[in-house]
Amino acid sequence: MIRLISLTLAAFAIGISEFVLVGLLPTIAADTGISLGTAGLLVTSYALAITLLSPVLTSLLSRYNSRWMLVALMIAFTIGNILVATAGGFTGLLIGRIVAGAAHGTVFALGAPAAAAIVPHDKAARAISLMFLGLTVAMVIGVPLGTIIGSALGWRTTFLLVAALGAIAALAIAILLPPTRAGESISIRKQLTLLTDRPLALTYVVTGLGFGATFAVFTYLEPLLGEHAGYTVTGITLTLFLFGAATVLGNLTGGALSDRIGTTPVIRIALTGLAASFIAILLISTHPTGLAVTVFAWGVFAFLISPAVQTHSVALAAHRGEGAQKAASGLNIAAFNAGIALASWTGGILVETTGVTTTPWAAIAFVLIALAASTGITRTTPVTAQIPTTEQPSPTRR
């Protein structure tokens, strides 16, 4: 498992870059002279970059040694965050976010199969969850600390630190990740043919709407807590810590449960819990204590689903070959972020028109659609499908 640390570190840097905007969004909006809803487009554009560019980059890079492609992607991620930190205006911020987002999606597309390949088949979901642990740890300590640093030293400092973490992760991957043989390449056209597989296509619907639903509310959590629940800056920071801790619990539990009872039951448990959490937020949005308890439950269910759907999509494509598995992984990452883009954009519209307290309505709608789609993802448990074992370097490459 020591070899997974490099991928976990990469996910940690990526997680901070993606999620730290939640605490910094009002500051960035004020600094650039735009509305809160418009600033939310920084979340949307990042997610769209992952959605649109991840399948293309996965197609181009999957044929090469995964270790060195992951190193190159983390370097690109570092450059993107440097661009954000040094941007002179909102357009520059968007460019930096797009560069970082393009790298983000492909790191997970190539990294998830690499993580699964390091361990025995029956531990695949747990290995993937350990990679995703980097995202959840970012939620626990990275996002709150990034918010504190951004408030004290400026939001640009936060992104410079994220860039430094990206560089360290690139070095760790180069040192720790085992050499891998070149995988089967798969074209964009062939990737899209995966969508003709009904259970796989419905899995992406579940991924996008089920996981993405969180971001209709989470993107604008700071004003929800501060303006309507009466939280102080310290209270908001502590609540972000609480949400982050819950995501770690949800992520680890999701991986372990998927190995034990199968991915499909875990997905449905997570979606049901999410729907209940968002309904509770609507009912108690002005009650500080009740809201804190609900935020914790929401965090658990939000990340319970992530290792389950990632493992589910990779395993469903196992019979099609390694290239199809990487493509399926990349498409699932694209689905994650298509959902984030849709949900954050929808939440922004609601913030601008009806107020921040109405954002849970959008989240509930997305979750209910995902729950309906989950009835068709498969009746079997795909975790035991053949996931590649540890890859060895080709005799012709040293």
Over the stretch 294-322, which tens digit does the pLDDT of each residue have? 999 999 999 898 888 888 888 887 766 66
pLDDT at 217: 92
State pTM to two decimals. Answer: 0.74
CB half-sphere exposure, 393, CA atoms < 13 A: 9
Task: Report the candidate in 194, 184, 320, 210 with the shortest Cα–Cα distance to residue 263.
Answer: 210
Local confidence band at 33 (pLDDT 50, 70, 90 cut-offs):
confident
What structural domains and CATH numbers belong to the chain? 2-384 (1.20.1250.20)
CB half-sphere exposure, 32, CA atoms < 13 A: 26
Cα 214 to chain centroid, rounded = 11
Please report, rounded to a whole number, the percentage of residues in the chain having pLDDT higher than 70: 88
Long-range contacts of 31-40 (CB under 8 A, 24+ apart): 31/155, 32/89, 32/90, 32/93, 34/90, 35/352, 36/220, 36/223, 36/348, 36/351, 36/352, 37/348, 37/349, 37/351, 37/352, 38/90, 38/348, 40/219, 40/220, 40/344, 40/345, 40/347, 40/348, 40/351
Per the CB < 8 A criterion, the answer to whether 77 and 100 are in contact is yes
Q: Is the pLDDT of residue 74 over 70?
A: yes
Local confidence band at 143 (pLDDT 50, 70, 90 cut-offs):
confident
Per the CB < 8 A criterion, the answer to whether 33 and 82 are in contact is no
